[in-house]
Structure 1
Amino acid sequence: MPEKQGLQWLVSPEELERIPLAKRVLGYVRVSDVHGRGDDLISPEIQEHSIKTLTDREGLVIVAWIYDIDKSGRNFTKRRVNETVAGINAGHWKIVILWKWSRWGRNMKESLIYLSMVEDEARGKVRAATEDFDPKTSIGKFSRNQMLLIAELQSDMIADSWKEAQAKRRRDGLPHTGAPRFGYDYERRTGYTVNQDQAKALKNAYERYVAGESMRALAMEWNAMGLTTVKGNRWSLQSISRMMDTGFAAGLIRERTEPPTSSDTGGSNGRSIWCFDLWREGKHEPIIERETWDAYKKRRDEQATMAPRLRTAVHSLSGIMTCAWEGCGGPMVSVYSGRNKKHSWTCYRARDRKEHPFNSVSNTRAEADVLAWLDREAEGGEDIEERRERLRAGREAVADATELEREIRKLKAKLSRYQEMYAEGDLDKADYQRRRDVLKKEIEAAEEKRDSAVSRSEAAGAYAQQKFSVLRDVWHEYTPAERREALLTLVTTIKVMPGPYEPGKKVVPVPKWAKEAA
């Protein structure tokens, strides 16, 4: 027996021609979800039986079936309803028969639009075998529309029940479904438990992304290792970023208080990290540290606001180097000159505006100086004064970050109380939104200060030295864009000093812990 999906003809073209057009019927069957539900009440066979009973009784002939299996009635975009209209226009059938009106759709507005396409534009008919009203009469049209409204109401009530059930699961620290998740094994009795092999790879991926690795490089490596998604597919930039964005590996359950706007989604279908504003503690065991997650979120936010040309930088130092001529601070731009198109960096304010004397450095020398600096920092080769300043800056940054974290927790607790009051009906929507917006601005300002302090603290600690070592060791393996991303985790800028080139003096990286970087 053929699989029940799509358009299936019951007659040949020759047989079709011998059947009067007025008697030709298309049977339309739709089932919302067949995955393990076992809902025999609306199985294809039940629907087929009712449709055949009507056609046999009235001497009509079913010439084809259209099966929309596992298709929602909420919208028509992914269904084959357009084929029912096309078949009428092509003269294949005149009548479309359903089981009940709920099979046509559970969205009143779209249901009427598509009914009009069949009845008014194509001059065909749509009937429901068990709810057979004549829409040409006032009472028949009213009854049909009532059935469509009831179908929409039933769908809305089911959706509301699911939303309430999912909201309760999230409040209880559980994801909204028991779907498979990379890094974990799932059993209904025990819930999610850590899959040690996958968890090791996932933890490593977060740490490397924080250290400057690109999502694309991580996906390519996982594919080379034979790792697949929970559906058995190869990893892509989109699939690995969406999986890591969930925060599940950090022991969190994500939620949003309102649907994301088009500006929030950034083309991500509302699944990216910035589309969610509420993160609850989950009951499952985390794979990564909270500090790693915070650093991951920070870099994801930075990537979201970064100009596309810099996300895929052609040069390692693009957008990082600035002119150190007194009063300038402008960006150094990439230029190619001479017969051999020698690559160098020059201050455009000096070149184009003549604001100060010419200031430039070759890319070869600039990268060599940066590598020498990375090597020196990786080996701990700073002098006593530099070490003293780094440690002082680190202690000060830790104190600032700790105090700001306390303030952020208080503000978030306040926001959480407002969210609960709104959910329980104790705050109207306008009042909630006003309070939420004020608090969000305060939280964002405090988080920005906290993140700056954390960056200075990390840049001053042993973790920073590890970053220096990693970047130095893989510099020649990285693409220019990956080098640039990694450098930005260590420096705020790279200054190009005035005057002739001197190794170690012309090109001066400014680490994030330095006073002038704060």
Structure 2
Amino acid sequence: MRPAETPATFHPPPAPGGTWIAYIRVSTWREEKISDTLQRSAIDQWAAQMGARIIDYVTDLDESGRHFKRRITTCVERVERGEAAGVVVWRYSRFGRNRTGNAVWLARLEAAGGRLESATERIDARTAVGELQREMVFAFGNFESNRASEQWKETHAYRVQEQKLPATGRPRFGYIWHPRKVPDRNSVTGWRLQEERYSYHPDYVSVVEEMYERKTDDYDGFNTLAHWLNEALAIPTMRGSAWGVSSVQRYLDSGFPAGLLRIHDPECPCSYSSGKISQCVNKRMLYVPGAQPAIITPDQWRAYRAHREQTKQTAPRARKATYPLTGLLRHSRCRFHASHTSGQSKGEQVRGKWVVCSRHKHANRLDCPKGLNVAREQVEEDVKEWLRDNVTDDLDALTTTPGEEAKERSEDPRERVKRERAALQLELTRIEAAIDRLVEDNALDPTKYPGDSFARVRDKLLGRKGSLVADLNKLGKEEEETPRREDFRVVIGSLLREWKLLSEIESNALLRQMIRRVVLVDERDEEGTLLRVNVTVHPVWEPDPWEPAKVCRGPFGTALGWSPNLLWERPAEAAVEQDVDQALAAGPATLALTS
């Protein structure tokens, strides 16, 4: 057989030649930390042997191959534009360790006529055997990455579940981090192991408390807090950089200053835990108790969470109120929000003179053909009149003596649970403080406690802490109490007295505490002419009339106003038999039976 007749599989790969882009990636995985100098040297040797010319060295330092948010994508795009013949890497694992990403970006590279070459793995992927070898190399790389990922997940789970520590040990703002491994000149190895823990930072604890107070009490935005930290206090993050909106938001939402750890629900089926997506699409993030001492109280943390939920439900432009009723106005016909608009008064332009339906004016007149137009002053006066007539009079009638009020509250089961929870949380705080003092004393002077006294006392305190946490869990999740009308006595009185003295933001914040929405009801004649606009207020202490009705869609029809509690109000067997008899009696027009 002549050489020209031999299959291409047995031919040596031809010299690439041409221009190539060298891609160098240094992994975050310690076992894969091959220096960029070594990778570049191997690529230069390959180029000299193959007669290729390297036009650019693209480097990704400390980057994982499990994602493709890297500069390798720009290399492929440059090949697509015809700048180079292909991409050369030190090993194929430098290209990526993600099965899907490898297939997608390699397909784009080859579709553009480019090639992927390895400087240390001489494989001709243009042949069937060579392509199989390259796929096997990619598969082993993906396997090694998944194996390392599983080990890290186990380590992170152990830290959170057993040690009550964050999944990754690093400094946290407001705390001093005492790592497990610290330098020690007296040790033979130069290192000493200790118990990892967090303690208060004497300079930043008050700053953390004020951050939460500014957010919940003063309604400061994350941007305002970032400017305050960077400009007024000149305090950087724990990484030495300036604070930003996202960094302030992540820190406050983490719950770490409240003594909590924010983790992803292990039962959630999304790919957040594997690192394939940046946030949980199902919003299943959990807060579990941590070993770090809390800077803010549980009440402050609940107030912050309630503030965040309210902010998420408020339109961005309504979060900094321009008028007292900003974000509260709704049109009764389309149930869309109403906004303020300017108008003329005595030849001058007046801001916020009118209140109009935003859907009719800015969105869709088919859903709201008539719209709405009413003076802002009239709406505000109607709301103040509602506060005076429908609230203060009733509060006078509901006024009780201090003894009677205390008796009513003592008989309320919710108050009893609340007192028990507060007592358990107070005891839990004391136990955590005792554990911190014990560990700190032992770290400063290991010979202070003789024998196994330290371990015995520590285990005793940890056991007591576990019992308190279990008792708190038995009380169940703290339910949001339905506000009572008399709880707003002081707020309403202050608002009515100082309406003209308060700023728009302050008035809006007080109104949001007691009002769900202000509904504008337009009355029209038969021809559609606007006669008047009435104001209806939906307070927070009454059931929401606009809350969607719960619907149960089952095999025997649809039931409105259904709730799970109805399942326990009648015997299950009789209920099923009755439903089946009614459904069969209705005939095939109502019940469709399928085989």
Q: How does 1:16-415 map to 2 (within 5 A)?
A: 22-33=17-28, 37=30, 42-87=34-79, 89-91=81-83, 93-122=84-113, 124-172=114-162, 173-189=164-180, 190-211=196-217, 213-216=219-222, 217-226=224-233, 227-257=235-265, 269-270=278-279, 275-320=283-328, 338-339=345-346, 341=350, 361-362=377-378, 386=399, 388=401, 391=405, 395=409, 399-400=413-414, 402-403=416-417
Which one-letter code corresponds to 2:209 in the other structure?
K
Output the CA distance in 1 between the equivalents of 2:205 and 2:240. 17
Output the CA distance in 2 between the equivalents of 1:174 and 1:255. 11
Deviation at 1:284, TM superposition (A): 0.3
Output the CA distance in 1 between the equivalents of 2:228 and 2:315. 26
Output the CA distance in 1 between the equivalents of 2:214 and 2:493. 13
Change (3 A) 1:52 1:238: closer
Change (3 A) 1:181 1:482: farther
- Aligned with 1:116: secondary structure? helix
Output the CA distance in 2 between the equivalents of 1:310 and 1:184. 35
Change (3 A) 1:112 1:298: same
Output the CA distance in 2 between the equivalents of 1:157 and 1:469. 63
Match of 1:489 in 2: 513
Q: How does 1:496-507 map to 2 (within 5 A)?
A: none
Output the CA distance in 2 between the equivalents of 1:363 and 1:103. 66
Deviation at 1:181, TM superposition (A): 2.1
Change (3 A) 1:347 1:62: closer
- Aligned with 1:280: secondary structure? strand
Spell out, residue by residue over 1:336-391, the C-alpha distance to the aligned partner (whole angstroms, 9 max, x if none).
6743548678899xxx999xxx9985478689999999xxx9xxxx9796364994
Which of the two has greater helix per residue?
Answer: 1
Output the CA distance in 2 between the equivalents of 1:133 and 1:388. 90
Spell out, residue by residue over 1:217-266, the C-alpha distance to the aligned partner (whole angstroms, 9 max, x if none).
4444334422333334444443322211111111001112256979xxxx
RMSD: 5.2
Change (3 A) 1:470 1:128: farther
Change (3 A) 1:53 1:295: same
Output the CA distance in 1 between the equivalents of 2:477 and 2:59. 52
Tell me if structure 1 keeps the 8 A contact 2:383–2:537.
no
Change (3 A) 1:322 1:70: closer
Output the CA distance in 1 between the equivalents of 2:139 and 2:515. 61
How many matched pairs? 417
- Aligned with 1:136: secondary structure? coil
TM-score with structure 1 setting the length: 0.63
Which one-letter code corresponds to 2:46 in the other structure?
L
Change (3 A) 1:127 1:184: same
Match of 2:4 in 1: none
- Aligned with 1:72: secondary structure? coil
Change (3 A) 1:196 1:209: same
Deviation at 1:392, TM superposition (A): 6.1
Deviation at 1:85, TM superposition (A): 4.9
Output the CA distance in 1 between the equivalents of 2:318 and 2:416. 32
Output the CA distance in 1 between the equivalents of 2:321 and 2:413. 36
Deviation at 1:400, TM superposition (A): 2.5
Deviation at 1:278, TM superposition (A): 2.0
Match of 1:451 in 2: 480
Output the CA distance in 2 between the equivalents of 1:471 and 1:493. 18
Deviation at 1:134, TM superposition (A): 1.0
Tell me if structure 2 keeps the 8 A contact 1:182–1:229.
yes
Spell out, residue by residue over 1:146-173, the C-alpha distance to the aligned partner (whole angstroms, 9 max, x if none).
0011111111111121122112211131
Report which of the two structures shows the higher radius of gyration computed on alpha carbons.
2
Tell me if structure 1 keeps the 8 A contact 2:16–2:52.
no
- Aligned with 1:253: secondary structure? strand
Tell me if structure 2 keeps the 8 A contact 1:345–1:363.
no
Tell me if structure 2 keeps the 8 A contact 1:471–1:486.
no
Output the CA distance in 1 between the equivalents of 2:516 and 2:107. 62
Change (3 A) 1:361 1:114: closer
Output the CA distance in 2 between the equivalents of 1:242 and 1:315. 30
Output the CA distance in 2 between the equivalents of 1:241 and 1:470. 31
Output the CA distance in 2 between the equivalents of 1:62 and 1:342. 64
Name structure 1 gaps, 5 residues minimum. Answer: 1-19, 263-267, 324-328, 408-442, 497-506
Spell out, residue by residue over 1:61-119, the C-alpha distance to the aligned partner (whole angstroms, 9 max, x if none).
4443221222222232332343355257445x435322111011112332233333333
Which one-letter code corresponds to 2:513 in the other structure?
T
Output the CA distance in 2 between the equivalents of 1:168 and 1:470. 52
Name structure 2 gaps, 5 residues minimum. Answer: 1-14, 181-195, 272-276, 358-367, 422-472, 521-534, 545-595
Change (3 A) 1:510 1:102: closer
Tell me if structure 2 keeps the 8 A contact 1:25–1:63.
yes
Tell me if structure 1 keeps the 8 A contact 2:324–2:507.
yes
Q: Percent identity?
A: 25
Tell me if structure 1 keeps the 8 A contact 2:26–2:34.
yes
Output the CA distance in 1 between the equivalents of 2:226 and 2:480. 27
Spell out, residue by residue over 1:250-309, the C-alpha distance to the aligned partner (whole angstroms, 9 max, x if none).
1001112256979xxxxx95289x934421110000011112212221221222233445
- Aligned with 2:308: secondary structure? helix
Return the structure number with greater relative CO, CA threshold 8 A, min gap 6. Answer: 1
TM-score with structure 2 setting the length: 0.56
